[in-house]
Every structure is written in structure tokens, then in C-alpha cells.
Amino acid sequence: MRTSRRDFIKTSAVAGAGFLVASGNFRKQARASALESIAVAGVGVGGKGGGDITHAGYYGKVVALCDVDKNTLQGKQKEFPDAKTFVDYRDLYAEMMDKIDAVTVGTPDHMHAIITAAAIKAGKHVYTQKPLTRTIYEARWLGELAKKYGVCTQMGNQGSVDDGLRKTAAQYRAGVIGEVKEVHVWTNRPIWPQEKNRTMTLEKFIAQVNAETDDEDERKELIEEKKKQIEAARKTVDWDAWIGVAPMREFWPGDYHSFKWRGWWDFGTGALGDMACHNVNMIFKAVDLRNPTSVQAKSSGHDFDSFPASSVTEFEFPANDWRGPIKFVWYDASQTPPAELTGKYGFEKVDGGGGCFVVGTEGAGLGSDFRAEGGKKIAPIPEDQTEFVIAPIDEQGRADDARHKFEWFNAMWEGKPDLCWSIFPNHAGPLTETILLGNLSIWTASEGPGEKVEWDAKNLKVTNLADLKTPGVAELVKPVYQNGYDPIDELF
């Protein structure tokens, strides 16, 4: 198995897709000074998006900043005082599109696709945070656009540039534990609220106050205090711009902006969207964990508004032309694979914070720790018998998060989009599609066990849609943009 797999790697087109190159590949130290002429705009410059535009500023010139939160925007402008500022990305594009070369996108998930698509259509290179999109069709759309316009793209799963991750992926691909049969991945997310009946409105708040106290003066005081709080928060956040393409709802301080949006179906992608682009990244690249044929989930329950507090999701992947079928199971909320499974290979306890456990025909691996049944260590395959690509490092030797942007900049400098590991067409798009199909199955698991979803990946269709009892599944494949935004392009 190992020999045939290595032969396949050396001769197949997959090897030319930016994962594997000739053994002995060297670290290329690109010169940051060669990239300084690239003009970059940042859309969404708080939190992770703020870090992304900071890193872009190491290698290019930041000329524009955009954020719906005026306080965030003002704070970031102190770092880039010469950059023009905007609250709505459409205003930035209208005024600055001919003055920028690249864009970083660090908004909530529901706005990733439309902001990114507009930039690509204008011929701009894009670094978009993970997950690439909120829905499956959007991920395919961005991949197709990136291919059409030939731009350099990178999704923000920054661990991709870690040397250890890439070497581990190459080990699994070369057959260190034989042919991969099962993959188990887990996380401690969510670390934000996800549960039923979370939606708060002023009307609901007033009803709660009325139920909790009979003191009319206290009622008035509490209600007026909340109204003032809402008014103060609205002065700094452009709620219409924040809502963007999603269905309009009432603003409520702290429930959406600036972080808790991850737990809402309309805006985020839950634990899967937040962490699978990291925790599945390595094994996805190693064994082409794309195009599942079915998926089924069970959850703690949800109300189609907020994600469930916990879930377990099982995917089935068909054989391809170099490996057999694979079962993949995702666990969140610190759930882990069965102890009898991991213990069979000497892994008596696994870290509930997150991990990747892989079972093959000749052993199993917990990350880069490879073992046979009973726990005996399996030696890694010698590097001259595996092939892997290593990310470029800048002259400053910055850490992985910045290095991930540097790989993107290096691709722009060289004019070679495939130099990026998390390129939209070949990696980020298919990875996101797989992850979001898991969310589609979680949607059906509103009362515990969900329905088994049969999937036609080529055409992005649920083949048993007519038989599913759960409504609204189609909207998680392809959304309809609200509030006057341009519709998604038709791919099929």
C-alpha cells in the first residue's frame, strides 16, 4: 500500500496542486521589500480581522480600512493613520477599488462571500477568514471565481504553514499507518452561547421585567436603562451594514456584535465552522477528505435560530482513484472518540480541547504520534520517501499567523496562486463545503438524532431532499441574499 500510494503521489496531478513537490524542497526566503508595493484594504478590522490586516501591513501598504463598528475603526486607524476609513465595504470598493491590489476579509461569516466575490470580480487578491463562507454554494462560488480571475487567495486557517502539520499530512498520505479508514476530530467549542430560545427583543425584555417585579417605578427604571443601553450601542455600530445579506432582526447589545454571532444560524457556522477548518485541515489535505456522499448528526437540540450546545456528526466519503472509503466523525463541546477505540492503540486519554485521531489498516495516529495496536510506536516514514511543500518564511522569522499571510503575499509576488496552501479552488473551498454539509445535517437534528442527508457533491444537491421532514435545508445549500444585495451568481 505504501509503495503504490507513493507512486501515485509522484505521478498524479494531485501533486501539482500545491501540496507535494520534489523531495528536498528548500525554504524560500522571499524578500519583504519586494512586496511593499502591494496596496491592501481590510474589511472587518476587529478581532481576527484586525490581526490579519496588521500582518498584511508587514508586507504591503495598508491604504483602506472598513468596519461597521466606529470604535474599532478608529482604533485600527491609529495603527495605519494614512489609511482611508469606511463603514460600508461597498463605499470602500466604489472609491478605492482602482487603488488597491488585495483585500483581507475578517467579518462575521455571513458576509464573507459577497465581500470576497466583489473583490475577486475586480481582479483583487483576497485573504478571507475561515470558514470561507456560511453556506455550501457560496464556497463553490468563490472557488470558481478565483479560478476564473486567476487571483491569489488564502483562507485564514493559519496553522497551515506549520512545518509539523505539513510533514504530518505527508506521512498519512504516504501510508505511515496504512490505508486510512476512519478519521475522528473534536473540539472544545462552542465557547460562546448556543442554545434554544436565545433571541432577545425589547418586547421580550419588557415582558420579563413585568413578570419579575410588581414595582412600577422599578419597571420603568429597568426599561429606560435598557433603552439607553441600546441607543448608546447603536451609535457606534451600523446595524444595517452589520446585518448585510442576512434577514433583518432587532439589534440587541452583546448578543450578536462583536463575538456571539458565531452561535446564530443566520450569521455564523457554529463549532464546526469555527474549528474544523483548523482541526480537519491536516487530514483533509492528506487523504482528500472531500465530496462526502452522506452525513448524519445528533445534537442536544436547537430551535433553527441558535446552534445546539453540542453535536456529533458522521460523514461517509467514497473511495477515490488512490484510496478506499473513509468514515469521518466530528465531535464538539469537548466530546471525544470512544475510549475503547483510542485505547486499542495505546492512547488511554485524549485532550478534550481538540485533536485528530486517524485509524488505518496498519495502525492509528493521534496527530503525529503513530502507533500499532497495543500502543507500539510506528516510526515515521523517512523524509526521502515522502514529499511535502514547506511554506516560505520572511526575513524576520515571524510566527505562523503572520507567516500565513506571507505565503499569500509570496504567491502575489510570484504571480502563482497555487503557492498558497489554503487556496480557494483546491483546498479552502472544498474543505468548507465538507464542513458546512455537516452543519446542514445538524440543522435536521433539532430534536436529537437528525435525518441522514444524501449528497451529490458535484451538483451541490441533497438527493433525498423530497424525503426529508426538516424544512429549510435548501437555504443552507444556497442562500437568498436579503436587503437589496446582488444575488449569488448561477454556477449550474
Of the pLDDT bands very low, low, confident and very high (cuts 50, 70, 90), residue 222 is very high
* pLDDT of 79: 98
Distances, alpha carbon 335 to alpha carbons 189, 213, 316, in Å? 10, 40, 20
The torsion angles phi and psi of 317, rounded to 5 degrees, stand at -115, 135
CA distance 271 to 194: 9
Q: Is 272 helix (H, G, I), strand (E, B) or coil?
A: helix
Mean pLDDT of the 320-326 span: 96
Q: How far apart are CA 476 and CA 474, in angstroms?
A: 5
Q: Measuring CA to CA, which residue among 93, 104, 92, 89 is closest to residue 49?
A: 104
Q: What does each C-alpha distance from 156 to 4, 127, 160 come to in angstroms?
A: 33, 7, 9
Percent of the chain at pLDDT above 90?
Answer: 88
Please answer whether residues 295 and 438 qualify as being in contact, where contact means their C-beta atoms are separated by less than 8 angstroms: yes
* C-alpha–C-alpha distance, residues 367 and 355, integer Å: 7
> Of 250, 253, 207, nearest to 226 (Cα)?
253
pLDDT tens-digit readout, 190-212: 999 998 999 999 999 999 999 99
Query: Among residues 406, 389, 388, which one has the least CA distance to residue 397?
Result: 406
Contact 168, 282 (CB under 8 A): yes
Q: What are phi and psi of 29, to 5 degrees?
A: -95, 90
Q: Which amino acid is at 125?
A: H
Give start-end residues of each CATH 3.40.50.720 domain in the chain: 13-161+391-428
DSSP per-residue letters across 406-434: HHHHHHHHHT-GGG-TT-IIIIIHHHHHH
**Separation of alpha carbons 124 and 293, rounded Å:** 34
Q: Which of 22-31, 395-404, 427-436 bottoms out in mean pLDDT, i.e. has the lowest?
A: 22-31
Look-up: residue for cell 465530496?
A: 291
In terms of residues, how long is the chain?
492
pLDDT of 472 strictly over 90: yes
Distance CA 113, CA 97 (A): 17
Question: For the segment 2-50, what is each residue's pLDDT rounded down to a tens digit?
Answer: 334 445 444 433 333 334 332 233 334 444 454 458 999 999 999 999 9
Q: What is the mean pLDDT of the chain?
A: 92
* Coil, helix or strand at residue 441: helix
Which regions of the chain carry the CATH code 3.30.360? 163-194+265-386+433-477
Q: Is 417 exposed, middle or buried (0-12, 13-18, 19+ CB in 10 A)?
A: buried
Cis bond leading into 479, ω under 30°?
Answer: no
Q: How many whole angstroms separate alpha carbon 141 and alpha carbon 488?
A: 8
Cell numbers describing residue 124: 483583487
Whether the Cβ atoms of residue 385 and residue 206 lie closer than 8 Å to each other: no
**Segment 292-298 mean pLDDT:** 98
pTM over 0.75: yes
CATH code given to domain 163-194+265-386+433-477: 3.30.360
Distances (CA, A) of 306 to 264, 268, 471: 4, 9, 16
pLDDT bin (cut points 50, 70, 90) of residue 64 is very high
pLDDT tens, residue by residue, 106-118: 999 999 999 999 9
Structure confidence at residue 74 (pLDDT): 97
What is the model's pLDDT at position 36?
A: 58
Tell me the C-alpha distance between 448 and 446, whole Å.
6
Query: What confidence category does residue 152 fall into, taking pLDDT thresholds of 50, 70 and 90?
Result: very high
Q: Could you write out the DSSP letters of every residue in 126-172?
A: EEEPSSS-SSHHHHHHHHHHHHHHT--EEES-GGGG-HHHHHHHHHH
Q: What is the mean pLDDT of the segment spanning 175-182?
A: 98
Q: Given a cut of 50, is residue 53 above it in pLDDT?
A: yes
Neighbours of 475 (CB within 10 A): 13
Residue 340 in contact with residue 348, Cβ under 8 Å? Answer: no
When pLDDT is averaged across residues 162-181 and rounded to a whole number, the result is 97
For residue 49, the model assigns a pLDDT of 98
* CATH class held by domain 13-161+391-428: alpha beta
Contacts of 42 (CB under 8 A, 6+ apart): 49, 50, 52, 53, 56, 62, 64, 65, 66, 76, 103, 104, 106
| Cα pseudo-dihedral 394, 396, 397, 399, rounded to 10 | -100
Tell me what pLDDT residue 296 has.
98
Between CA 16 and CA 9 the distance in angstroms is 9
Going by C-alpha positions, the residue among 197, 433, 435 that lies closest to residue 301 is: 197
Q: What is the DSSP letter of 296?
A: E
What's the pLDDT band for 417 if we cut at 50, 70, 90? Answer: very high
pLDDT, average across residues 220-247: 96
